[in-house]
A = this chain, B = another copy of it.
Amino acid sequence: MEVIESGVTAAKGFLAAGVEAEIKYQNRKDMALIFSTTPCRAAGVFTTNMVKAAPVLWDKKIVESSPGVQAVVVNSGVANACTGRQGMECCEREAAIAGEALGIPAEAVLVASTGVIGVQLPGDRIEKGIRMLAEAKSDSRDAGLEAAKAIMTTDTVHKQIAVKFEIGGRTVTLGGMCKGSGMIHPNMCTMLAFLTTDANISKEMLQKALSRDVKDSFNMISVDGDTSTNDTLLILANGQAQNPEIHEEGEDYEIFCEALHYVTTFLARKMAGDGEGATALIESRVVGAASKEDARILAKSVICSSLTKAAVFGHDANFGRILCALGYSGAVFDPENVDLYFESKSGRLHIFGGGSACQYSEDKATKILSDPEVTILCDMHMGTEEAVAWGCDLSYEYVKINADYRS
């Protein structure tokens, strides 16, 4: 597998664009398009929040029933959530306009929105934006990059990646982009992430691969514990790589899943590390758990703890908060048997074991916790299962961003 510096336009037959549509802000790109020259099989996972944004409801229907998807239209600035019937009608109009502008059926168009909740989308600007996107679309790397930038809200960096790999003697490409930052605690999926591939894979296997993958990628990150109303992860596969169709489990499917996991994990880590106000990416690695589910619960509990997040922000080796978070996770273990380590590029430190604190250097611990990527390693000594979760520290900036998000 080869990593390439590209995103959603890396795979054969995929075009993209990003334009300034002034949905909410001035002087920044805020609408994006992904377009495939041929119909795609599509799969998706969506928020489990009872309150689902209109675009989520639209996409669920299209992913389930559409014979072929060819476009995704995304806007930032306004989430089109908690917008009632008017919000749903806006999605339908968006798909119809995009279908007309791109020469495809409205049922081939997926839509996604991110931004403030409870505000209606400006229909005229959305329409103008779609026509600009249809005009601007290109299969260049730059076009993919512009799309990745246009979906950002409080993100500080765009997030994209692509990989190349071989299936049945053919080169297959898989690329993706996402945005995260706040209201990030995905359950079934994440804020907004879009993957494109030219793999030839059945719709059933595509959905299976995606649903399996999120459990250890996007579902293992959290910025603030708030599961959004708009979480959407979509993958489009247009088959243009012409590999023998993947229609069952086996070697080809595993190669595809491995590439998929590389891409999703890369994007998920990026999202966690660029959480609102974050100064550090926190990786919580749990080993020796009694079951895979326990490992996931324990790893995620650590990165969700406000106190642990604040301690990392302060470069303070306050390991008690980590034990506390493991303890209330719901998983069963023996606290006397847990080993705790801090790890970063500056080294590794054994902090806690045998029921009490180890003799460690506070200076060394502070140095490790001052690095931009910090790993908290917990060995539960209960079995052999492992899991990794990703989060970020809790800073003044998070509060600042969210105390005044709408203005």
Contacts and interface: CB of A to CB of B under 8 A. Distances in A.
A118 B228 contact: no
Contacts of A183: 307, 321, 324
A335 B226 contact: no
Interface string A294-333: 0000000000111100110110101111011111110111
A332 B50 contact: yes
A400 to B, nearest CB: 7
Interface size class of A (residues with CB under 8 A): 35 or more
A52 B321 CA distance: 13
A324 B403 contact: no
A288 to B, nearest CB: 15
The A interface, classified by DSSP as helix, strand, loop or mixed, is loop
B224 A306 contact: yes
A157 interface: no
Contacts of A332: 50
Interface stretch (A8-16, A124-132, A252-260, A352-360): A352-360
Contacts of A136: none
A328 B403 contact: no
Interface string A113-136: 000111110000000000000000
A404 B393 CA distance: 13
A370 interface: no
7 contacts: A51-B326, A82-B357, A83-B356, A84-B356, A183-B307, A226-B325, A318-B405
